[in-house]
Chains A and B, each alone.
Chain A
């Protein structure tokens, strides 16, 4: 019997970026989620999963950059990200959705509350489209790394030297 050649492949999602796969041996990771939001989605039946790392809430703040960098703004990136998953065979009722990020500076006037505005934008789009999140690990002042292991569907974060399953 030939050995199964399915070595683990690590897909790294940059800031304002996304990766999606239907390969069981993949692990997707995104680092340095501060005020940015990371959305991990996983459909175990279709074996489709992905992570989106968006940076800012609303594309209207800078339409030129939104056109050049389609994963930068939640308002445009989130619908496009889910559409990609559906094109690969995922369905909304089966999708497991977990979220991390949305940290904030210490800011008395909420001027810099981009993490909060990112989260609000995401909740609005999810509410409009009937998407439910299973777990969220958001807020605070910490930086998080978000992982998705396709073979098991395990989604977890690393923060402050600890791993936490979502």
Chain B
């Protein structure tokens, strides 16, 4: 059975990500970073700039007035959304793969990830609370640990997790931890730190099954809710199914009610196909530009 140390060495060999992404995430997480710093980081990366402008002018986000500069794109979308789409475009190829260790077919983890990100994106409309902008990217990456761990959950290990889950009546993630000594959320946090994403973002991934609701990390609560919303709309059940804690205190800390939670679910289910299409269009665009 693999240890977290061995897995960390495997994570060391993951493809690096463009340096602009953690830089942008750190600027977003820094309360003292000004707009000019964010604009400069985006402008120094041609791919990020192209993505920001294309997204700002997409049918989904554009009110019909064309955007010509990065500054206008940031004003229209927010830097958090630009980072989310840039990371999503990069991660599509990985997250769209099947994860047999979690009974997730091709595209399932990808759609689950986009649904969680879309929920975080729409949270302010229903929760009436400011959501930390790294929540958009953290939600998109919250199950990246499953992508890495899946190949190590073949046969006996997978069966052992199910057995412990049923015999001890544990949430899936606790059974995973009991068998492996760690869980997929922690692995996701290790990956986020390896990529130099800020602690706020890495913690929101690492603790998405164990949220705090002390108001310190609204991104963590948003990721927790995003994951629940994706399950409620039936996307990415996998072997975990609905056997997970859904923390009402996290929902209330964001100002959600049971009724606004349902309204949020309806919006995410309705908009998911068009948002998945935006991400996939973007990722195809980038593949072409690298040829």
| Structural contact, B270 and A65, CB atoms closer than 8 A | yes
Confirm or deny: A24 has a beta carbon within 8 angstroms of a beta carbon on chain B: no
A contact residues around B249 at 8 Å (CB) = 109
With A106-B171, A142-B242 as known contacts, state yes or no: A61 contacts B259, CB within 8 Å: yes
| Structural contact, A105 and B270, CB atoms closer than 8 A | no
> What does the 1/0 interface line of B252-291 toward A look like (CB < 8 Å)?
1000001111110111011000000000000000000000
Confirm or deny: B62 has a beta carbon within 8 angstroms of a beta carbon on chain A: no
> Contact check: which of B246, B261, B262 meets A58 at CB < 8 Å?
B262
B contact residues around A33 at 8 Å (CB) = 234
| Structural contact, B266 and A56, CB atoms closer than 8 A | yes
With A34-B232, A141-B241, A143-B237 as known contacts, state yes or no: A65 contacts B266, CB within 8 Å: yes
B contact residues around A126 at 8 Å (CB) = none
> Contact check: which of A55, A62, A68 meets B234 at CB < 8 Å?
A55
| Chain B at the A interface: SS class | helix
Q: Which of A104-158 contact B (CB under 8 A)?
A: 104-115, 117, 141-143
Q: Which has the most chain B C-beta neighbours within 10 Å: A32, A57, A106, A112?
A: A112
| CA distance in complex: A112, B245 (Å) | 10
A contact residues around B242 at 8 Å (CB) = 34-35, 103-105, 115, 141-143
| Structural contact, B263 and A62, CB atoms closer than 8 A | yes
| Structural contact, A34 and B234, CB atoms closer than 8 A | yes
| CA distance in complex: A33, B241 (Å) | 10
> Contact check: which of B246, B263, B269 meets A107 at CB < 8 Å?
B246
Interchain nearest-CB distance for A138 vs B (Å): 13
With A107-B245, A109-B248 as known contacts, state yes or no: A57 contacts B262, CB within 8 Å: yes
| Structural contact, B234 and A114, CB atoms closer than 8 A | no
- Chain B's closest residue to A58 (CB) is B262
A side interface size, CB within 8 A:
37
Confirm or deny: A90 has a beta carbon within 8 angstroms of a beta carbon on chain B: no
| CA distance in complex: A103, B265 (Å) | 16
B side interface size, CB within 8 A:
30
Confirm or deny: A97 has a beta carbon within 8 angstroms of a beta carbon on chain B: no
Interchain nearest-CB distance for A69 vs B (Å): 6
> Contact check: which of B234, B246, B266 meets A105 at CB < 8 Å?
B246
Confirm or deny: B251 has a beta carbon within 8 angstroms of a beta carbon on chain A: yes
B contact residues around A99 at 8 Å (CB) = none
| Structural contact, A61 and B233, CB atoms closer than 8 A | no
| Structural contact, B263 and A69, CB atoms closer than 8 A | no
Confirm or deny: A72 has a beta carbon within 8 angstroms of a beta carbon on chain B: yes
B contact residues around A55 at 8 Å (CB) = 232-234, 265-266, 269
| Structural contact, A65 and B267, CB atoms closer than 8 A | yes
| Structural contact, B266 and A111, CB atoms closer than 8 A | no
B contact residues around A58 at 8 Å (CB) = 262
> Contact check: which of A35, A72, A109 meets B266 at CB < 8 Å?
A72
| CA distance in complex: A65, B267 (Å) | 7
| Structural contact, A15 and B233, CB atoms closer than 8 A | yes
Interchain nearest-CB distance for B218 vs A (Å): 17
Confirm or deny: A16 has a beta carbon within 8 angstroms of a beta carbon on chain B: yes
| Structural contact, B262 and A16, CB atoms closer than 8 A | no
Interchain nearest-CB distance for A120 vs B (Å): 13
| CA distance in complex: A43, B273 (Å) | 34
| Structural contact, A112 and B251, CB atoms closer than 8 A | yes
| Structural contact, A32 and B234, CB atoms closer than 8 A | yes
The 7 closest A-B pairs by CB, nearest first: A111-B248, A105-B246, A109-B248, A65-B266, A143-B237, A112-B246, A141-B243
A selection of 14 A-B contacts at a CB cut-off of 8 Å is A55-B233, A55-B266, A62-B263, A73-B266, A104-B242, A105-B245, A107-B245, A107-B247, A110-B248, A111-B261, A112-B228, A112-B251, A112-B261, A143-B237
